[in-house]
Amino acid sequence: MKKRYLYLLLLPGLLFLTVFMIIPILLTIGTTFISDNGFSIQGYLDFFKDRYFIEILLTTLKVSLFTTILCIFLGFPAAYYISKLKQRKKAIMLLLTIFPLLTSPVVRSFSWMVIIGKNGVVNKLLLGSGLIDKPLDILYTPTAIIIGLVHLFLPLIIVTLVGVMENIETDLLKAAESLGASRLAVFSKVIIPLSVPGLVIGSILVFVGSFTAYTTPALLGGKQRVISTFLYQNAITLNEWQVASIVATIMIAVTVLIISIMNGLAKKLNPKG
C-alpha cells in the first residue's frame, strides 16, 4: 500500500473528532462573542472585572499547581524505583500503581471524607495522641481538594515516568560515576534531564486533569468553589449557558497557555530533545 493511502486510515478518527469534539468546541467559543448588538467581548471584560471569579480562577490554579508539584515529588522517586526492578516485579508494581484508577472518583472522595473529616481517622488519631486540642478543619478546604487530586492523578505521572526511565541505559549511569560524578550529580545531571519528556507529559496530564476535575472538588471542597464547579453551577443550577460558555472558553485558553509554557520549559531544560 502506498504511503498516501495510509492517511486514509486516519479519516474515520478525524471525522469522529471533528463532528463530536472540534465543531462543538468551536460553537461553544463562538457563542461567547455574540450579544444582542452583534459581536462583543463584553462578557469576558465583565468576568475579569469580577473579583469573585478571579478568586475562583486563582484558587483553581493554585490547587492544580500544588497538585502537580506534589505528584512530581512523590511520583519521581517511586517511578525511578519501579523502573529499576526486574520485569516480573515491575509488572506487579505497575499493576498496583494503576489499580486505584479502577476505583470511582466518587468512592475515593467519600473515603477521604471519612479519613480527614472532623470526626475522621486523622483527627481521632491526633486528638488521641494529644498533638492537637481540637479537630483540624481539613475537609471542605483547598487542602482537601489537593489531597484528593494527588490520590487521583499520582498513578498517571508514575506510569509516564516509568516508561521514560526504563529506557535510560544503566551503562550511561555507570560511565558518569566512573568519570568521578557523585550519585547526586548523576541524578541531577543525567537522570533528571533524560526524564524531562516524561516529566512534561506527566505534569501536563496532572495539571490539566486537576484544573478541569469536577467530582473530587465538588465532594471534598464543599462550598469552596473551583472553576469546574462554578461552570456546573451556572450551566445546570442557574441555567446561564452564556456564562457557562465563557467559563469553558477561559478554561480552554488557560489549559492551552499552561501546556505551551510547560513545552517551552521542557525545551530549555532539554534543548537537544
List, for residues 259-271, the tens digit of each pLDDT value: 888 888 777 766 6
Q: Compute the average pLDDT of residues 107-118.
A: 90
**Model pLDDT, residue 229:** 92
Q: Which residues of 231-247 are buried (b: 16+ CB within 10 A; e: fewer)?
A: bebbbeeeeeeebbbbb
List, for residues 180-223, the tens digit of each pLDDT value: 777 788 877 788 888 888 888 899 999 999 999 999 999 999 88
Share of the chain above pLDDT 70, in %: 97
| Segments making up each domain of the chain, as ranges | 45-269
Least confident range of 38-42, 142-146, 162-166, 254-258 = 38-42
Distance between CA atoms of residues 25 and 22, nearest Å: 5
In the chain, what is the straight-line distance between the N-terminal and C-terminal CA atoms, in Å?
Answer: 32
DSSP 3-state of 75: helix
* Strands, E assignment, the chain: 34-35, 38-39
Just give the CATH number of 45-269.
1.10.3720.10
Backbone angles phi, psi at 193, to 5 degrees: -60, -40
**Model pLDDT, residue 239:** 85
Confidence bin at 146 (pLDDT 50/70/90): very high
Least confident range of 87-91, 103-107, 259-263, 268-272 = 268-272
pTM for the complete prediction? 0.87
DSSP 3-state of 222: coil
